[in-house]
Amino acid sequence: AQSVSQHNHHVILSEAASLELGCNYSYGGTVNLFWYVQYPGQHLQLLLKYFSGDPLVKGIKGFEAEFIKSKFSFNLRKPSVQWSDTAEYFCAVHPGTASKLTFGTGTRLQVTL
Amino acid sequence: DVKVTQSSRYLVKRTGEKVFLECVQDMDHENMFWYRQDPGLGLRLIYFSYDVKMKEKGDIPEGYSVSREKKERFSLILESASTNQTSMYLCASSLESPQEETQYFGPGTRLLVL
């Protein structure tokens, strides 16, 4: 069965620091990859997604993620975080064939002023 | 904008009660999903549905059932609630399309079983 690993469970950064959140998955075939974000008290929402093409994808609010097929990774990055980025971030994987989405356990990001 | 609504934001029930959680989406999506979200465990899929009257088990279906009588509505049923079902329940929907599996989530229902 496929699995998704997010190794950072809780990350604390100061404003303007750079961010990288790790995501690794265990499926060997074609995959679609997602990062979702849940701001405090809000719905889970899509941050960015990769289906095909350029492995560097850009999402909302200055986030980007790079798909490295050889490493089975899809790490999320932001050059300079803001206090408003405080949220929980979830990586998710969907096989290319129709099937369910598998989520990682999430990373709680806390940005301090 | 896609809108997914859930019938309650907070629920308190007693052990053994039958619990219904309702989810409605307004974008004519074929797929609907029920997850539970627990700290340190992320989102785990309970059940999903690709069409009316169709359901498939997810990763943790035990103790739950679902109903999809209309395309826009997907209900999660706890036949006899137990304390280990205290959790946040999230509903989601998506289009049936190989190029658009983005799931849209509702606000969640926080269920406490006493």
Q: Tell me: the pLDDT tens digits for B19-51?
A: 999 999 998 999 999 999 999 899 999 999 999
3-state secondary structure of B83: helix
- What value does the mean pLDDT take over residues A93-111? 85
Mean pLDDT of chain A: 92
Nearest to B105 among A43, A49, A106 (CB): A43
Choice between A92 and A27, residue whose per-residue pLDDT is larger: A92
Neighbours of A7 (CB within 10 A): 11
CB A23 within 8 A of CB A35: yes
pLDDT at A98 over 60: no
For residues B16 and B14, give the distance between their C-alpha atoms in angstroms, rounded to a whole number: 6
A contacts of B44 (beta carbons < 8 Å): 103
Annotate A25-40 with DSSP letters as a single string.
Answer: E---S-EEEEEEEE-T
Task: List the domains of chain B with CATH numbers.
Answer: 4-8+16-97 (2.60.40.10)
User: Does the CB of A59 have a partner CB in chain B at under 8 Å?
Assistant: no
Which of A85-94, A96-105, B67-76, B82-91 shows the lowest per-residue confidence on average (mean pLDDT)?
Answer: A96-105
- What value does the mean pLDDT take over residues A3-26? 95
- In chain A, where are the structural domains located? 4-112
Classify domain A4-112 at the CATH class level.
mainly beta
B36 sits in which H/E element: strand B31-38
Interface test with B, best of A44, A47, A97, A108 (most B CBs within 10 A): A44
For residues A82 and A88, give the distance between their C-alpha atoms in angstroms, rounded to a whole number: 14
pLDDT digit string (tens) for B84-102?
Answer: 999 999 999 988 765 567 8
The contacts of residue A41 (CB under 8 Å, 6+ apart) are: none
For residues A108 and A86, give the distance between their C-alpha atoms in angstroms, rounded to a whole number: 8
B contacts of A100 (beta carbons < 8 Å): 33, 45, 48, 58
- What value does the mean pLDDT take over residues B1-26? 93
Beta strands in A1-113 (DSSP E): 4-5, 10-14, 19-21, 24-25, 31-38, 44-50, 56-58, 64-68, 73-78, 87-95, 102-103, 107-112
DSSP state of B18: -
